[in-house]
């Protein structure tokens, strides 16, 4: 209406009058403070909201289930088709999933409840191994094409202070080895070995201890496999060897012939 238009014109004239007065007071300079406009700010981006510790646990709809439907692991031929950016994103997705599964595994252990589909951890680790291998393949291809070398750090074994062979990775320093006395002193303390009679005696005892542990592992697997054979005489030998790779089949069958098939309650 005519009355509303009159009020709008009157208010606009009042605002303009105030701006002109501020303009004269500031020496003919117009600022954002006079217009009461917030100063311009730089553009910024925000990430997804942080959900807290819930990220370390499964969804509530999966809790209490006996079986969870999951897919298979990522194959190497599938990962070769992905870009570097996709591989980078997939790595963090798998890492997040693995941390969640480790947390749930510990929670199920404390609750004394079996974890549904524990093979999910194996699938995640297999996918991460395949992804890492693909990244290494691309790095090797790039460095061999550009520089003629693999680009990977050299790794070899050297004796430590006790005479044992330990893995060693060379490190790059800003100072040459001839001038870097502190680093040479560290190498001498860590890897210098005189191979005297005391070191040789230690190595002999150390090797005997390792061999005893290996024989104990072989014997434990033989006992476990013998229990399976006594209880299931027609067991598939290939599947049994896949489960117990340290087992000697001929020795195992000799144990079977000596013990018989009707000793399921006895130990080997």
Helical packing angle, 84-110 and 119-146, nearest 10°:
150
Polymer length in residues for the chain: 268
Contact in structure between 66 and 108 (CB atoms under 8 Å): no
**What pLDDT score was predicted for residue 56?**
73
| CA distance to 24, 63, 137, per residue, from 71 (Å) | 73, 18, 26
DSSP string, 140-200: HHHHHHHTSS--SPP-EEEE-TTS-EEEE-----SS-TTT-HHHHHHHHHHH-----HHHH
DSSP string, 62-94: GTT-S------PPPHHHHTTS-HHHHHHHHHHH
**What pLDDT score was predicted for residue 135?**
92
Helical packing angle, 249-259 and 197-231, nearest 10°:
50
- Which residue did the predictor score with more confidence, 149 or 76? 76
**What 3-state DSSP class applies to 34?**
helix
How far apart are the C-alpha atoms of 197 and 41, rounded to whole Å? 74
**What pLDDT score was predicted for residue 207?**
93
Query: Has residue 44 got a pLDDT over 60?
Result: no
Percent pLDDT > 90 in the chain is 21
Query: Has residue 64 got a pLDDT over 80?
Result: no
The single residue listed with the structure tokens 């054979």 is: 229
> What is the four-CA torsion angle of 115, 118, 124, 130, rounded to 10 degrees?
170
The single residue listed with the structure tokens 């990522």 is: 74
The single residue listed with the structure tokens 């299931």 is: 232
- Report the DSSP beta bridge partners of residue 166: 158
Instruction: Dump pLDDT digits (tens) for 75-115.
Output: 999 999 999 999 999 999 999 889 888 888 888 888 888 88
> What is the four-CA torsion angle of 53, 57, 58, 64, rounded to 10 degrees?
-130
Identify the CA nearest to 229 among candidates 265, 206, 253: 253
Instruction: Dump pLDDT digits (tens) for 166-178.
Output: 888 877 788 888 8
Instruction: Dump pLDDT digits (tens) for 206-258.
Output: 999 999 999 999 999 988 888 888 888 888 888 888 889 988 888 887 775 54
């Amino acid at each position: 209406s005519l009355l509303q238009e009159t009020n709008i014109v009157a208010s606009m004239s009042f605002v303009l009058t105030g701006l002109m007065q501020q303009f004269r007071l500031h020496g003919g300079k117009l600022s954002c403070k006079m217009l009461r406009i917030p100063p311009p700010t730089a553009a910024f981006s925000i990430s997804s909201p942080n959900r807290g510790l819930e990220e370390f646990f499964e969804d509530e709809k999966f809790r209490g289930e006996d079986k969870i439907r999951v897919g298979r692991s990522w194959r190497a031929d599938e990962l070769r088709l992905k870009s570097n950016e996709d591989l980078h994103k997939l790595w963090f997705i798998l890492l997040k999933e693995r941390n969640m599964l480790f947390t749930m595994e510990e929670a199920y252990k404390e609750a004394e409840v079996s974890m549904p589909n524990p093979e999910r951890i194996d699938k995640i680790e297999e996918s991460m191994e395949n992804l890492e291998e693909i990244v290494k393949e691309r790095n090797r291809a790039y460095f061999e094409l550009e520089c003629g070398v693999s680009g990977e750090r050299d790794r070899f074994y050297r004796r430590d202070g006790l005479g044992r062979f330990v893995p060693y990775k060379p490190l790059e320093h800003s100072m040459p080895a001839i001038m870097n006395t502190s680093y040479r002193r560290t190498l001498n303390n860590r890897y210098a070995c005189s191979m005297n009679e005391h070191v040789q005696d230690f190595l002999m005892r150390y090797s005997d201890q390792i061999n005893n542990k290996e024989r104990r592992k072989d014997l434990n697997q033989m006992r476990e496999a013998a229990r399976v054979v006594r209880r299931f005489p027609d067991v598939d030998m290939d599947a049994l060897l896949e489960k117990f790779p340290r087992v000697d089949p001929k020795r195992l069958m000799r144990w079977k012939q000596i013990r018989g098939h009707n000793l399921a309650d006895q130990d080997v």
